[in-house]
Amino acid sequence: MIQTSSRNKGCSIVANSMMHCRVSYYFWWGDTVGYKREGGAWVASNGSSSSFSFSGDNVPTYGMDNSALQSAGYIDSTGNLAPEHDAAQAHWGGKWRMPTKQELDDLGSKCDWTPATVNGVSGYEVRGKDVYASARIFLPAAGEGNDAPTMMYELAK
């Protein structure tokens, strides 16, 4: 079973053993910088301003299959992001890592998604099925970036 963080990168609030935070940083899969909206502009986690937008044209890993991701050096042979492309590894170190594409796909297909509100934050309670029925995580609704739905939104559709 995969262990998850109690908070998003950039979020310091934890409540009731379920992740709770208003939107913190947005990362595209394979990005180690992270961006958040401040005053209508995207600001990188390193504090620099950016004209970045979350669209397929600006997200290098968008639409790539595992073979292409591996050839481009984004993932290793097991599907894990290479450390230089892994936001969890870059920001938290140790054994932290981002989920693989397969693990993200499994969240969509092997879990039940229920709209939920925790401490005033809307999102989804994602609960495993069958032998994993006791496993759950709250994923806050992340909204949209530059009018392009975030992966969170796409998984929940």
Instruction: Find tokens 């290098």 and name the residue.
Output: 60
* Most confident among 11-15, 47-51, 123-127 (mean pLDDT): 123-127
Contact between 88 and 8 under an 8 Å Cβ cutoff? The reply is no
Residue 104 φ/ψ, nearest 5 degrees: -65, -40
Residue 44 is predicted with a pLDDT of: 82
85-117, pLDDT tens digit by residue?
998 888 888 888 888 888 888 888 999 999 998
Query: Where do the structural domains in the chain lie, given as residue ranges?
Result: 14-156
Beta bridge partners of 138: 125
6-41, pLDDT tens digit by residue?
545 555 444 444 444 445 678 888 888 888 777 777
Structure tokens, 115: 């709209």
Our measurement of the distance from residue 124's CA atom to the centroid of its chain's CA atoms, rounded to an integer in Å, reads: 14
Instruction: Please state, in angstroms and rounded to a whole number, the distance separating the CA atoms of residues 132 and 13.
Output: 26
Length of the chain equals 157
Structure tokens, 64: 């790539």
pTM of structure: 0.69
What letter does residue 81 receive in the DSSP assignment? B
